[in-house]
Amino acid sequence: MKKSLYTLLLLALVGQLSAQTLFTVGEKAVSVDEFLYVYGKNKDIGNQIDPKTPEEYLGLYIAFKRKVAEAEALGRDTVPAFLTEYNTYYRQLLKPYLTDKAVDDNIVKEAYARMATDVRAAHIMLDLPENALPEDTAKVYKQIMAIRDRLNRGESFETIAKQQSTDTYSAVNGGDLGYFNVFNMVYPFETACYSASVGQVVGPVRTQFGYHLIKVLDKRPARYRMTAAHILLLDTEDRPNPEAAKKIQDLYKSLQAGEDFNALARKHSQDQSSLSRGGQLPAFGLNQMLPEFESAAFDLENDGDFSEPFQTKLGWHIVKRISREDVPSFERVQGELTGKIRRDERSNASRQAFLARLRTDYQVVVNEDALNQVLKALEKGKSTAKMTKAVVTWTPMSGNSVMLTQAEFAKRAIDAEVRRLTSLNLNANNVSKVDPVLAYGVLQPSIDGQLMAEAEYRLPLENSTFRFLSQEYREGILVFDLTRERVWDAASQDSAQLANFFAAFQPEYQWNNRYSGSVFTTDNEKVAKKVADQLRRGVPAEKVMRVLNSKDPLTVSAQDYTLLEAGSTTLNPKQALLVNAGLQGQAVTGPNPDAEGGYVVVFIMESIPAGPKALADCRGQVITDLQKALEEQWLEYLGQTYPLYLDQAVWTAIQNKL
């Protein structure tokens, strides 16, 4: 109790310090911590393009906060569309804070380390439902431990697996599962195998399927990826080919004599899918080919090596190694591993680690006696309405130490049974009896749900980074929507206002002189002089080109340009030549040497003097200018409506942090 009071007092003191107000706009206060968080996060954004001093950034944030105050005063934070959008973002923001980040990082690194090794293991399994009752779990555990004792006394693992393992698929092979790599087995099973030594028996290991005793048979460097080609002669049990064995030997001798593998594959292989590629197969890895084929391919030491003939259930093969890829660097596969982990059981590991910490922090206790009472009542269909004992207790921030009563637990169990019956199209009316296994399965999700809800509630109160981040999203959405309405859409969609603004500021929207014409280039000075002479004599430009290029179409080239504006900053060198010639008032300029060692002639076809633009000519610029004007008017109104108070002493005190 004393510790709890101390913690609350400490939190209150920290809160007072961090809540020191830097400024207010209207009644909206902004703390020092909030400003430092936002400034630190955003100060370098666009710093190379438009750097801001701390004072300038303060001004921007004051304006932003005034817009937030206006949005809230208008009730924009209660609009359903806003609430839906913000809640969607908020749920996404929560995720990384409600897991154990260290566990996440370690799981990715662990998966990468395991990629380097293939493991072969055998197991003995006894079935047990994932949500089995404690007494059923104890019963199966006792059975698996009895088997463990037999193994310790020297009995054969293979024999017991054949006799007692409930995994009938592997039992016939003495429990042998073959080789596997990371992600091929459920996570607890995989972890046990990679943690054990060759020959070691480990367990019992609990998985969603039951209890396992595991014997690691072998470990080897991973067969990551292989590209190979093969020659296949079909010889199956259903369609035997007596000639295949002899013919494959003949082909092998031809390869030894130096004949080309691709040519022989195209001519003789009976694998139609790889025939056109000289027998080449898609890249493959562990357990993606028949075992004999995989072993033959991965046993080849060098690219270009080919195997002796070998037989599979498909027939006779010769395989050639084209390339072998070892496990890539961590950086190359980190993204792929992360994606696989999200779809794998281990994705829940960080959440479970987080929940385990919460169970300790919030002092969760399950009352087994109270739980068993309600389970027995549910099994017999008895009323639980008057069962008031606490099944689960804890220490939430609200101070209510009872998380779940017997009656509440019973209701959740009955609801689960109703859902199950409904999904099976069975009668779900007046349900009172619930199988204890199903009922027990409701307990942990109920506890986890309460723990996560409590953690979500506490997060913005205890974690200032999350509090400011979620506030940033909330206020950003509010300001974006209101600014779009008041400024952006008002300028771009109100045609009458746009036209009036354009008319009022018409002198600011003017064309400079504009020119249309052609720039002729050639490597020959004499040809350039002919171009200029003929253009000055009034010969059309198209005819000049046609005559001079009659023998060699590359003698002269020309680029045509339309309405290039003097003073434009986007002109390329040839466009600039044309504009400069137009400004000189000459119809034909040149020939003049160019930077590439040739000659240029500039011909001006049309000159349009400076004059006013039509709205259609500069609509984009007018919209931008109107938006700027509307923004300035709006900020002036906001400044009057939400007056600023800046604590100058506090501002001076935090300068060394900016």
At 76-114, the pLDDT tens digits run 999 999 999 999 999 989 888 888 777 878 889 999 999
Compute φ and ψ for 516, nearest 5 degrees: -125, 145
Q: How far is CA 376 from the centre of its chain?
A: 46
Look at residue 233 and tell me if it is in a domain: yes
The pLDDT tens digits for 500-538 are: 999 999 999 999 999 999 999 998 889 999 989 989 988
- Final residue of a structural domain among 462, 487, 522: 462
**Collapsed DSSP state (helix, strand, coil) of residue 372:** helix
Shared domain check, 281 and 189? no
Q: What percent of the chain has pLDDT over 70?
A: 97
- Final residue of a structural domain among 297, 325, 353: 325
**Collapsed DSSP state (helix, strand, coil) of residue 78:** helix
Shared domain check, 430 and 384? yes
Shared domain check, 272 and 196? no
Output 217 or 52, whichever has higher pLDDT: 217
Shared domain check, 376 and 242? no
Look at residue 185 and tell me if it is in a domain: yes
Cα torsion for 8, 14, 16, 19, to the nearest 10°? -130
- Stated pTM of the model: 0.64
The pLDDT tens digits for 36-86 are: 998 888 877 766 677 788 899 999 999 999 999 999 999 999 999 999 999
Look at residue 112 and tell me if it is in a domain: no
The pLDDT tens digits for 298-347 are: 999 999 999 999 999 999 999 999 999 999 999 999 888 888 887 888 87
Look at residue 85 and tell me if it is in a domain: no
Shared domain check, 525 and 381? no
CATH code: domain of residue 542: 3.10.50.40
pLDDT for the residue numbered 408: 93
pLDDT for the residue numbered 13: 36
Look at residue 105 and tell me if it is in a domain: no
- Final residue of a structural domain among 202, 221, 240: 221
| Alpha helices in 280-434, H assignment, sequence order | 291-298, 330-342, 349-361, 368-380, 406-423
Shared domain check, 656 and 621? yes
Look at residue 286 and tell me if it is in a domain: yes
CATH code: domain of residue 491: 1.10.4030
Look at residue 126 and tell me if it is in a domain: yes
CA gap 182, 333 in Å, rounded: 13
Label residues 129-154 b or e (16+ Cβ within 10 Å = b): bebbbeeebeebeeebeebbeebeee
Shared domain check, 238 and 212? no
Shared domain check, 494 and 431? no
Q: Which amino acid is at 373?
A: Q
pLDDT for the residue numbered 5: 34
What is the CA angle 588-593-595, rounded to 5? 120
Give the count of domains, the chain: 5
State the pLDDT confidence band at 180, using cuts at 50, 70 and 90: very high
Shared domain check, 449 and 366? yes
The pLDDT tens digits for 372-415 are: 999 999 999 999 888 999 999 999 988 888 899 999 999 999 99
For residue 345, what are the contacts with CB-CB under 8 A and spacing of at least 6? 186, 187, 208
Look at residue 421 and tell me if it is in a domain: yes
The pLDDT tens digits for 6-32 are: 333 333 333 444 469 999 999 999 999
CA gap 138, 136 in Å, rounded: 5
β partners of residue 321: 228
Shared domain check, 162 and 17? no
Shared domain check, 301 and 283? yes
pLDDT for the residue numbered 48: 66
Rounded to 5, what percent of the chain is helix, strand, coil? 55, 20, 30
Residue-number span of the structural domain to which 444 is assigned? 362-462
Shared domain check, 202 and 263? no
